[in-house]
Amino acid sequence: MSLVPCRACGHKVDTSALTCPECGATDPGHKISRQQRNAIGFFVQLAVILALLSWGSWYVWNTVIPKARELITKPAQEAPAASRQSAQ
């Protein structure tokens, strides 16, 4: 139980107070509101997801696609000349 100045109006409020009794600000004892914290958490998750997606697409582009292309083109090279024209 300690009193801190409200983030919005400076009125002394308890750190555990959900709203400021003076101005009604949410989480007055914290530097950022719960909504801001949720928004930051959301953007952190978004950044992690985007990083994973970009890494995943890079990985697919550089390892899976060349391997798949190899698998697709190899049988064509062994096949007779008639079916080879699509590969080259």
The smaller minimum CB distance to Zn ion, of residues 3 and 9, is found at 9
Q: Are 22 and 5 a contacting pair, CB within 8 Å?
A: no
By the rule CB under 5 A, 27 interacts with Zn ion: no
Sign of CA dihedral 74, 80, 83, 86: positive
**Beta carbon of residue 21, minimum distance to Zn ion (angstroms, whole number):** 8
Residue count at the site for Zn ion (CB under 5 A)?
8
**Beta carbon of residue 36, minimum distance to Zn ion (angstroms, whole number):** 16
Please tell me whether residue 4 adopts helix, strand or coil conformation: strand
By the rule CB under 5 A, 3 interacts with Zn ion: no
Contacting residues toward Zn ion, per CB under 5 A: 6, 8-9, 11, 20, 22-23, 25
